[in-house]
Amino acid sequence: MNLKMTKEYESRNPNPNEGGKRQSIDLGKGSEVVLIPRFLAFDESWKWFDYLNKEIPWTRPTIRVFGRSCVQPRDTCYVASAGLPELSYSGYQPHAYSWDEFPPLKDILEAVHKAFPGSYFNSLLLNRYKGGNDYVGWHADDEKLYGSTPEIASVSLGCDREFLLKKKPSKMSQDKRVEGEPPSKRSKKNNHSDQHSFTLKHGSLLLMRGHTQRDWVHSVPKRAKAEATRINLTFRRVV
Point out the annotated binding site for substrate: 66-68, 142
Residue 220 interacts, among ligand AKG, Mn ion, none and using kind-specific CB cut-offs from 5 to 8 Å, with ligand AKG
Per-position b or e across 3-25, b if 16+ CB within 10 A of its CB: eebeebbeeeeeebeeebeeeeb
Instruction: Report the binding-site residues.
Output: 66-68, 127, 129, 139, 142, 218, 230, 234, 236
CB-facing half-sphere around the CA of 35: CA atoms within 13 A: 16
Rounded least distance, CB 230 to ligand AKG, Å = 7
Q: What is the C-alpha to C-alpha distance for residues 203 and 38, in angstroms, rounded to an integer?
A: 6
Judged by beta carbon, residue 42 or residue 163, the one nearer Mn ion is 163
Rounded least distance, CB 218 to Mn ion, Å = 6
Judged by beta carbon, residue 13 or residue 90, the one nearer ligand AKG is 90
- The helix (run of H) or strand (run of E) holding residue 209 is strand 205-210
Q: In the complex, which residue's CB is closest to ligand AKG?
A: 232
Does 142 contact Mn ion by CB under 5 A? no
Judged by beta carbon, residue 41 or residue 136, the one nearer ligand AKG is 136
Does 141 contact Mn ion by CB under 5 A? yes
Q: What is the C-alpha to C-alpha distance for residues 36 and 207, in angstroms, rounded to an integer?
A: 9
Q: What is the C-alpha to C-alpha distance for residues 162 and 222, in angstroms, rounded to an integer?
A: 9
User: Where does 20-119 show beta strands of DSSP type E?
Assistant: 23-28, 31-36, 62-65, 68-71, 75-80, 96-97
Judged by beta carbon, residue 20 or residue 73, the one nearer Mn ion is 73
Name the site residues for ligand AKG (rule: CB under 6 A). Answer: 125, 127, 136, 141, 154, 163, 200, 218, 220, 232, 234
